[in-house]
Structure 1
Amino acid sequence: MTEQTSPLVTFYKRGWENYQHALVQTIALLSSEQLFLPLAAHQRSIGEQLAHLIDARIFWFSGWMGEGDPNLAHWNDDEQAMREAASLVAIFEKTWHVISSALDRWTSADLEQLFPPPASHQAWLQKHGFEEEPAHTRQWIVWHVMEHEIHHGGELSLAWGTYGLDSFYTW
Structure 2
Amino acid sequence: MTEQVSPLATFYKPGWENYQQAIVKTIAPLSSEQLALSGAPHSVSIGELLARMIGARVNWFFAWMGEENAAMAAIDRWASSDESAVPEAAELVAMFEETWRVISSALDRWTSADLEQLIVPPASQQEWRRSHGKEEEPPHTRQWIVWHVMEHEIHHGGELSLALGTYGVDSFYTW
Shorter-chain TM band: over 0.9
Counterpart amino acid of residue 13 in structure 1: K
For the Cα contact (< 8 Å) 1:81–1:87, is it kept in 2? no
* Residues 111-135 of structure 1 deviation map (CA, whole Å, 9 limit, x = unaligned): 0011111111111111111111100
Aligned to 1:71: 74
Q: In structure 1, what is the equivalent of residue 25 of structure 2?
A: 25
Letter aligned with residue 46 of structure 2: I
Which one-letter code corresponds to 1:87 in the other structure? E
Tell me the residue number matched to 1:45.
45
- Matches of 1:28 and 1:117, distance apart in 2: 33
- Superposition deviation, residue 82 in structure 1: 2.4
C-alpha distance in structure 1 between counterparts of 2:87 and 2:135, whole Å:
35
Instruction: Write the deviation string for residues 76-99 of structure 1: whole angstroms up to 9, x where unpaired.
Output: 559697231101000000000000
Residue of structure 2 in register with 1:12 after alignment: 12
SS at match of 2:86: helix
Question: Quick one: distance in 2 between partners of 1:80 and 1:116?
Answer: 30
Whether the 8 Å contact between 1:35 and 1:83 is mirrored in structure 2 is no
Find the partner of 1:167 among 148, 171, 175.
171
Q: Unpaired segments of 5 or more residues in structure 2?
A: none
- Deviation track 1:8-51 (CA, whole Å, cap 9, x = no partner) reads 00111111000000000000021110000013112110000000
Taking every aligned residue pair, what percent have the same amino acid on both sides? 72
Residue number in structure 2 paired with 1:98: 102
Q: TM-score if structure 1 supplies the norm length?
A: 0.95
Superposition misfits of 4+ residues, deviation over 6 angstroms = none
Letter of the 2:124 partner, please give it.
S
Match of 1:128 in 2: 132
> 1: distance between equivalents of 2:40 and 2:140?
33
Question: 2:115 aligned to 80, 103, 111, which one?
Answer: 111
Q: Which residue of 2 aligns with 1:153?
A: 157
Aligned pair count reads 171
| Residue in structure 2 matching 1:84, options 88, 95, 101 | 88
Distance 2:11 2:39 in 1: 30
Distance 1:55 1:134, change over 3 A: same
